[in-house]
Structure formats: structure tokens, C-alpha cells
Amino acid sequence: MRGEKMDKSTLYFILAESALEPIPTEFKNHPKLQRYAKKQKKSPESIIFDKSIHSFLINDPKGYEKRGRPDLVHISLLSILGTPLCKTGRLKLFVHTANDLIIQIDPNVRLPRNYTRFVGLMSQLFETGQVPPKGSSLLSIREMTLKELIEEIKPKYTILFSETGKEIELMKFMSRAVEYNPLAIIVGGFPHGKFSKETYQCANEIVAISDTTLDAHIVVSRVIYAYEIAMKTK
Amino acid sequence: MRGEKMDKSTLYFILAESALEPIPTEFKNHPKLQRYAKKQKKSPESIIFDKSIHSFLINDPKGYEKRGRPDLVHISLLSILGTPLCKTGRLKLFVHTANDLIIQIDPNVRLPRNYTRFVGLMSQLFETGQVPPKGSSLLSIREMTLKELIEEIKPKYTILFSETGKEIELMKFMSRAVEYNPLAIIVGGFPHGKFSKETYQCANEIVAISDTTLDAHIVVSRVIYAYEIAMKTK
């Protein structure tokens, strides 16, 4: 019985406002970018924006605090995809980007562990819209807001994990949250700062798992583990 | 009282037989490596071995299954250093390498999130023996076996997490394990295969947290989280 129950449950997991995008359009004609792209033998459009590499483009960091961190998205995705929950097909994974794109990731994808290869794959995804380019996709990309995604997947309950939320004891909280099926969980895919008003409005509840700031990959690891435990004892 | 108890406890966390090393000596004079190093403007000795990049050196993969995966060590370290336990100074972190070196990592180090920068830092560490090169170190390296490290830190109990161990329910197991102080935990810092006989002999108990193979970063995340919970309810 317990097994049956578990099979019917799906956890929707969304990394929201993620710092994953090609080089922003405002830099497209920047002479430094043109030189960089030439050296890399790439078109400027196909380069994934990484602030630790492309800091030379940014004169004023204002407005870029939450952007250009594909490394953070990478480690968060590996922390999700490696869990038993994901490996057994009971998690559906979406990356919402700061530019309102939704990347759907097949839980069976073998995402490159190597960062350079991951960035190469993301570059291919932004160019072609899906990977592999033909047939059923492992990664696909659509123009869509987070609100539209939530309206499409229709979760019974949506929980946003944010340091601005009410502090909870995660294991206890999750043991109640799993009563909602399907449940959607949103974690920020960016380094610092608050979510946008639109993101907060997508959630039924906003909670924090710690009184200090934690990296996204730490939050996702703990949330999924707590969910697995809650499902086992449901 | 509870607070006092917690302050006195330290968790020793060891990534064992880790796949982190400079290019193996057998490749040092390989013409392909010489050309690669020249192109990278580096000496062959200062290049960190990464199988996903340096596969051109390996004719026979036998003997290299557990080596050349600094990406795996990187994500595991980020999964340890980001935890509240580590941030509050209650964890001491060591990386034991396949070549019997011990890297001690200050829990307050801000390890680069960017993989290329992490590899650059490791290269500097292997060249200079400590980072920063002068003064008190954030990262330091010594020639030492895992057995010698265990003899030095003298834990009351040492637990090795291995898929070959007895399967346990982690939360329950950890609630008992925290009675030992100090406790040492060993997780493999390599992708596949078994630990060496010497590593198994360092442990008082060998356990598995899943009936399937899990990535090292998933294991370390769960083990530390379970340890934190067990300490709170101790």
C-alpha cells in the first residue's frame, strides 16, 4: 500500500529566477565581448553569462546581483538529480530563469558533472530550444512566466523557500506538507537578494529552514531529503 | 546545557581516496601532455588531473576508474562547507587523496564556486603546500595515510559510508552515533569502485544509506544534515 501511495505522488521542483542566461543583450555589441567571443571561437549569442568570467563587461554591478551564476544552477541541479527521489522518477524538475523562460529537465538526464561541459550543454539548449535537437527531449526551453507554469502544473500547494519566510523545523513541516498531492516546491536559483513580487505571489506559503542564509544547493538537498523521509512515514 | 554540549562536539569529516591529484607522473613526459601544457601556458606538474579533459592521455582506463575527478571533490566540498554545522565551526574537514596526501581545509575558507577557479586553487595548493603560501593557512597539504590521520585525530568512533556496508536508516543511526565524541565520518571522494583494504580497516563500522549507488555529494549532504538533527535532539 505504502509503495502504491508513493508512486502516485509527484513532487514538482522549481528553481526560480535562476541566474542562467546567454550574455545579456545590452552587452552584445560591446567591443570587449566581440574580442572575447572571437578568442573563444563562439558567437556572442551562444555564450552563457558567467559573472566570474565576464566581469569585464560590467561597469555598474547594480542590477546584476542575481544574474550570471550558472555555477550555482549547476550544483543545485546535481543536488536534485542525484537524489533517490529523482532517480526513481517521482520528481519533475523545472528551471525558471530571470528572463521568464522555463527549462524542463528530464529526471533521467545525465547532466555533465564537469562545469565546462554543463555550460556547453546550456549554450546548445539556448541555441536550439531543446537537447537533443530532434526527437524526445531531455532538456527543453519555453517562454513562460513562473505564474504560467504554476497554472499549467496545477499543484495542490506551493511552498516557497526563502530566507524572508517564517522559520520552520523542516522535517516536521514536511511531514504535513506531503499531504498535498501534487506538491510544488520553489527554491531560488540565484545567489543573493529577494525574489520578485510575482514569485512570492505564486506561493501558498513562504518558509525558511534556517536563521542564516544558505546556498541554494544546501536548501534543495535538505528539502528533498525531508520530503523523502516524510513520504516513507506518510 | 544543550548548547554547551554542542559546542564541545566536533565532527571530523574525511573525504577518502579522493580523485584529486596533479597529472600522474607516468604522463609527465607524454608528448601530448607537453603540447597541452604549452597551450595552457602551464608546467605539466601544475595541471590538476581531470579525466574529462585529459582522456587523451589514457590508453587503458584500467587503474584510472577512481582517479581524475576533481569536479566530484569540488561539489562534495561545497556540499560540506555550505552547511550550518560547518559554518558554525563544529566540523573539521580533511581530504585524503588516492596518493596518501591529507589536505586540511579551514571551515571558514570561501572555496570558489566556479570550477575553473577551484582547479586553479588546487593547482596552487599542490605547488606551494599551503594556501595562502605564507601565514596561517586556509588549505594545507601533508604526506600522510588515512590511518595516520585517524591516529592523529583520535576519534572515539569512525564510521565509513560505503555502498558495500550494512544498510541503515540514517536518521535513527545518527541519533545513536552522536553519543561518540569526537566522531569521525569517512565518505569516498571518488566516483566508482570499492575503498582499499586500508581504508576499510580505519573504520569501526561500515554502513550504507541507500540500496542504490549515490553520488558522494548526496551522501555528504544527508549525513551532515542527519548529524545536525541528531545533535539538536541529543
User: Average pLDDT of A95-115?
Assistant: 96
CB A107 within 8 A of CB A93: yes
**Would the pLDDT of A5 be above 70?**
no
The pLDDT tens digits of the residues spanning B3-37 come to 334 446 899 999 999 999 999 988 888 888 888 88
Residues of B within 8 A of A218 (CB-CB) are: 79, 82-83, 221
Total-model pTM:
0.94
Distance from CA of B201 to the nearest CA of A (A): 28
Please write the tens of the pLDDT for every residue from B181-204: 999 999 999 997 899 999 999 999
Mean pLDDT of B77-85: 97
Of the candidates B202, B197, B233, B215, the residue with the CA atom closest to the CA atom of residue B94? B202
Contact B225 A229 (CB under 8 A): no
Per DSSP (E only), the strands in A79-156 are: 91-97, 101-105, 130-131, 139-143
Query: Which 8-state DSSP code applies to residue B166?
Result: E
Beta strands in chain A (DSSP E): 11-18, 91-97, 101-105, 130-131, 139-143, 157-167, 183-188, 205-208
Please give the angle made by the CA atoms of B7, B12 and B16, to the nearest 5 degrees: 165
The b/e string for A85-111 (b: 16+ C-beta within 10 A; e otherwise) is bbbeebbbbbbbbbebbbbbbbbeeeb
In order of A157, B44, B71, the CA distances from A89 in angstroms are 20, 43, 25
Which of B114, B171, B211 has the highest number of chain A CBs within 10 A, making it the mutation to test binding with A? B114
Placement of cell 550543454 in the chain: A121
- Residues of chain A with C-beta less than 8 angstroms from the C-beta of B221: 79, 218, 221-222, 225
In angstroms, the CA A112 to CA A150 distance is 28
Indicate yes or no: CB of B117 within 8 angstroms of CB of A222: no
